[in-house]
Structure 1
């Protein structure tokens, strides 16, 4: 049973002492639950030892972040060290904490203090819930409404920080873009098929001449009524069909002998309006694809360079975020998207799938059937490396993606000709050297260069200054070590000389 209870709130930390010790037997536990609802009874069970308020909104926000991540801050350590008695060999202090991760951090900081959580002890959970319920009345220093205002302010600051964090990553835009792109592909195909079927009543031979959906809808908009086509429109029609005069002439000649029936002006207007929708939808799909490519080259440039924008975006979308994808092992990335086939194979004890979303990568299509599994496993390994580099690097670069892509190509060549590929250590070292060379050329602290502010508010000049400070420190340390070694060497030589002189005198 806990001797003390820690209550973390938006206003500060509170330490309570448990006055009435109860067992976790069923009937006593029910008594504790009933007493925690009544303030008069609950006030006799606990006693306030100390209340340490936060000095401002900034300190409250920092401690809230630490508590959410299960980290014991320096302020919390000082509160516990000041208010908890020092445990002896026989008498141990047991502290009740609501979060198990925070309890682990406290136990690591104070090895002599034992921690109980709501998961290990139901009585501790009930007592902590009672403290949260009656804390505004148990803390007599507070006025009415202080806790609610502090909760509201801290909640806004914490949520705003989380939203800013996700906005800076921009992987949410990639997830939404690839999902919209999939829906647009289906919509464009359905709209184009409907335009073909509808306009074929008037001009059925056009399908055999123009087979592409997007181009077919454009031609329908240009032609309208087939009876209006003449040789005078040859040049304009050729511009619509990608400057192909042969196709334009074939359309004009076929329109003269077409077997299609005439349509009324109202029906033709409806068909052309629908064709306009199909064309605009196809144009938006093209613009969205370009937007996705630009986003991928900002958020995950190495992954996009390795396997392409669309496949990389599908991996990020399936994982939920770039951070989640970076946490996945290569074996999970390999079968990402083939979960149904995997569980079906495990249930029927059949062969597990070799690839999921990675099947759409160009490397898998180029490889023979015999080596598709090997290449997919190797490619998943490189995708795992690329996603981690993209997620944790500050400045986007494609050098690592190019090196990883070259490794995959060399591995494919190895399966065909037996030429040994470049080792991973050598390839990564070359990529790192090229990145460092680019950073040396583009020095942000050079004369006339703009001091760019990064996402976390730190300027590039400050980062460069910090790096130089570390280098100077290392150089001073190495110089000091060299001088110390030189002094030791001199003393050793002098000592040897004195020994020789003494031996000569003795002789």
Structure 2
């Protein structure tokens, strides 16, 4: 019978529940919806198998993000492998209920479990969510609500992907405030002119700028007090001496009415407020330029900061503007005219917000539509570069601006502009050089900060690390020295034993040599024997040193030497050991000169052997003798070609009797 298990993902962790008799329950889904509210009935049907809480808020956010994308995390896979029986016993037939279809497909692909998300599963999950605090001990309803709220906030912030350095929302708000300030300053300036014109109506005709008019009204106040002393101050405000003199002359013959001091005070206060708003508008414009140079430098370089900011604000974000095609960007801001043209079946508009660009105003009347379409194309390219590039420069914006200039000259003069591929390759090269210069400047700034003493902690930390590394070098104690001596002597004994076995084989093969070879072999064997004795001697010395390594040992003659070894480094220890071995070898050689020579087995007379003749030993190996009398080892089967022919060999590869006779004849010769 198939068993139903339900996987429940919550902000606090993963839960696995077993549903009993789900096939019968599925036939009565309306009754199940009513029975979900009863905790006792629901707990009889649905039982908790396992629950794994999240260790931290970051782990919970990571798992929930993966579940929303239909990915199987390591935490979830480990939980399923631990609690789901089908992963342990493949023979058992079960069905896993999930809410997310993508997650179910991932579980089915990974483990081959039958997954469902329809039928009774949604109602079971709704009941589990309702009664979760009664299933898990220590999880109160208040804690459940708190974990859900915290995870919801962190999940929403993660989806927004807010970047402090590239926040296009600041551009949207700044351009909105700028537009509002322009309207407010114009309204206040108009009210200011109407109010002050009651006293000095000629000033509004002479000074048309709102900011300058407010400053002049704040300076002049009562026109009867205006004299030649105010000429320099008026020149500073207006930057025109003729206008300043005209204002003084007009104040003498003005047709304005007299005004009370209280009214002048109010006018002065309002003029200062208009002046402060105008100054703040300039500061905000500078702020907008700096933000555009960081967020969308190529778009700002191509079309200007104000027009680019209005395009971003109208589309909603820089990403939305980058997703727009060039045809949409061209008429962005002229939606009403577009819908009216579609309704009346008339000509659609040629431009929207990009009409405020200087390129369209410079183009002729017949070329405005062409240049607006071309400009929209380049703006779309610049916006996508700004949106999806990690490292931004103005290289592409400058090259795109050059292309628009060349297209304008093409419409006027007919000069053929450069191809887009050529321009983009140049822009890419300039982009790389700009990035290299930026990296070099940052390194130079860091170096200057270190030299000026702004950054003092970095070199101090490095010095501390070096001192710490020097302090970590261990001191060589007497026990360590003795242990190293033992290891080195044992390794020397092993290597000498291997060499002795090789020389024994050579000795067996050289039994049939001449007298000179015999003497050399005997001398070689005499050299071998002291080595063996020396090895035994060395091993005995090692054992003796190990025995004397006990702290309560009696002092011996080697005591001063051991005291010196305490201060030696590892290289001096190994070199001293090698010197001791060489001294022992010389002593053993001198003692072995008195040892009698060993008797050799049957050897040939020197008269029977001549140099350069090959002698076979046991039919397997042969020894050749050079004119100098030194034995040389040769390969097997070094007989003449006649003897090595197939007819002279038996089945086992041994020599036949005829071959042996031929060999004897040759030796007798």
**What interval of TM-score do these two structures reach, taking the shorter chain for normalisation?**
0.7 to 0.9
In the aligned structure 2, how far is the partner of 1:440 from the partner of 1:176?
A: 34
Give the drift of 1:372.
3.0
Residue in 2 aligned with 1:11? 12
1:220 to 214, 217, 220: 217
Check whether the contact 1:14–1:50 (CA below 8 A) recurs between aligned residues.
yes
Equivalent residues of 1:311, 1:361 under 8 A apart: yes
Greater alpha carbon shift after TM alignment, 216-225 vs 352-361: 352-361
Evaluate the alpha carbon distance shift between residue 305 and residue 59 of structure 1 in structure 2; reply closer, same or farther with a 3 A threshold: same
TM-fit CA distance, 1:95: 4.4
Structure 1: runs of 5+ lacking an equivalent: 452-507
1:65 CA drift (Å)? 3.2
CA distance in 2, matches of 1:267, 1:159: 55
Structure 1 pair 68–241 and aligned structure 2 pair: CA distance change class (3 A)? farther
Within the alignment, does 1:187 sit opposite 2:184 as a pair?
yes
CA distance, structure 2, for counterparts of residue 335 and residue 69 of structure 1: 36
What is the CA distance between 1:190 and its match in structure 2? 0.3
How far, CA to CA, are the matches of 1:184 and 1:269 in structure 2? 24
Mapping 1:7-406, distance limit 5 Å: 7-19=8-20, 21=22, 28-68=28-68, 71-77=71-77, 79=79, 83=84, 85=86, 95-98=97-100, 102-103=102-103, 106=106, 110=110, 124-139=121-136, 147-151=144-148, 153-155=150-152, 157-158=154-155, 165-242=162-239, 244-406=240-402
In our comparison, the structure showing a higher alpha carbon Rg is 2
Q: Hey, what's the Cα distance between the residues in 2 that align with 1:113 and 1:335?
A: 54
The 1:170/1:16 distance shift into structure 2, 3 A limit, reads same
Distance 1:140 1:333 in 2: 58
Per the TM alignment, residue 297 of structure 1 is displaced from its structure 2 partner at its CA by 0.8
What CA distance in whole angstroms lies between the structure 2 residues aligned with 1:425 and 1:33?
A: 66
Structure 1 residues 383 and 266, CA, compared in 2 at 3 Å: closer, same or farther?
Answer: same
Matched with 1:430 is: 426
Q: What TM-score do the two structures reach when normalised by structure 1?
A: 0.75
The separation in 2 between residues aligned to 1:114 and 1:383, in whole angstroms, is 52
- Distance (whole Å) between structure 1 residues aligned to residue 346 and residue 108 of structure 2: 47
Task: List gaps (5 residues or longer) in structure 2.
Answer: 448-669
Cα distance per residue 1:349-371 (max 9 Å; x no partner):
44433332222222222233333
Deviation larger for 353-362 or 137-146: 137-146
Q: Report the CA distance shift for 1:336/1:136 in structure 2 as closer, same or farther (over 3 A).
A: farther
Query: CA, structure 1 residues 382+249, in 2 after alignment: closer, same or farther (shift >3 Å)?
Result: same
CA RMSD of aligned residues (A): 3.6
Q: Which gives a bigger RCO, structure 1 or 2 (Cα 8 Å, sep 6+)?
A: 1
Residues 437 and 268 (structure 1), Cα distance of their counterparts in 2 relative to 1, 3 Å cut: same
Bigger shift: 189-198 or 343-352? 343-352
SS in structure 2 of the partner of residue 37 of structure 1:
coil
Q: TM-score, normalization: structure 2?
A: 0.58
Alpha-carbon distance in 2 for matches of 1:214, 1:345: 40
* Distance of aligned partners of 1:145 and 1:421 in 2 relative to their CA distance in 1, 3 Å threshold: same
Structure-1 separation of matches of 2:150 and 2:17 = 25
Q: Alpha carbons of 1:245 and 1:442: their partners in 2 closer, same or farther (altered >3 Å)?
A: closer
1:23 and 1:29 in contact (8 A); partners too: no
